[in-house]
Amino acid sequence: SRILENPRYDATLSALYGAATPGDPEAVFRAATSAIAAFEGTDSFAPFDSKYDRYLRGEAQLTDEEELGRILFFSQQFTNCNLCHQLRKSAIAADETFTDYSYHNIGVPANAAARAVNGAAGPDLGLLANPAVEDPAAAGKFKVPTLRNVAVTGPYMHNGVFEDLRTVILFYNKYNSKAAARQINPETGEAWAAPEVPGTLSMDKLTTGPALDDERIDALVAFLETLTDSRYEYLLDRDTASAGTGGTDTDR
């Protein structure tokens, strides 16, 4: 009914998909779903015109820092990012979506404040909260998100528990660093809070690779900023692009 209240939707959906009536919500839903899917298939929805895409086409040059971040991101040796955030076989595929669409529990802490505001009780079980899913191993898993436009779409994780992109990289680094300073969440000044759902973490992947020093952390952030569609580039805060605000090399 809400969709058909808009005379333009009513007329267009009827013209494209046959007369829709408020009495047939399934038909309206199917028509709207199909129309949205058609939009999602357009270049306007997914322009692939970020600095990274322009670089792949030879139309832009990455800075040394961005290039280091690119190498690290796709490396089998220095980071684990591509174990989950790479769809295509080739590291220079033009249509990389930066997710393999799998589900993982990476140990994100609860956002207690958000849960309270929403009146939500107990832990967020992620994939297992889907009534169609029964496997207890699905608890705490979330679909790997794309990293396109990630630099301009904070706060981060499904529950917005981290404000800064750099914090996300530091969060991953806690799994591989033994330095005491790396066990501190810079946004709270306290130790990283425990995973909201323990027991199902993808530890094998999360612990693949060595600890990252500040230079590499900043480079990864700089690389992720290049994944911003050109229409959103003005939103990038260039000042934070490479601000080495964390510890020193010895914190590695």
Cα separation, 135 vs 137, whole angstroms = 5
Pick the closest to residue 231 from 33, 16, 53 (CA basis): 53
Residue 195, token pair as written in the block: 């995973």
Answer yes or no whether residue 142 interacts with ligand HEC by CB under 6 A: yes
DSSP one-letter code for 194: P
79 binds ligand HEC (CB under 6 A): yes
| 1-9, 51-59, 201-209, 230-238 -> range binding ligand HEC (CB under 6 A) | 201-209
Query: Quick check: 205 binds ligand HEC (CB under 6 A)?
Result: yes
Residue whose CB is less far from ligand HEC, 63 or 153: 153
Quote the least distance from Cβ 4 to ligand HEC, whole Å: 34
Residues 160-179 that bind ligand HEC (CB under 6 A): 165, 168-169, 172
In the numeric block, the tokens 């090399």 are attached to 249
**Strand stretches in 69-211, DSSP E:** 103-104, 142-143, 184-185, 190-191
Rounded to whole angstroms, how far apart are CA atoms 121 and 123?
7
Q: Would you count residue 147 as binding ligand HEC (CB under 6 A)? A: yes
Stretch that binds ligand HEC, among 22-30, 35-43, 51-59, 202-210 (CB under 6 A): 202-210
List binders of ligand HEC among 32-51 (CB under 6 A): none
Q: Are 216 and 72 contacting, i.e. CB atoms less than 8 angstroms apart?
A: yes
Which residues inside 101-130 make contact with ligand HEC, applying CB under 6 A?
A: 104, 106, 108
Q: Which two tokens stand for residue 115?
A: 């849960």
Q: How far apart are the first and last CA of the chain?
A: 57
Q: Which residues here bind ligand HEC, judged by CB under 6 A?
A: 79-81, 83-85, 104, 106, 108, 142, 144-145, 147, 150, 153, 156-158, 165, 168-169, 172, 202, 205-206, 220
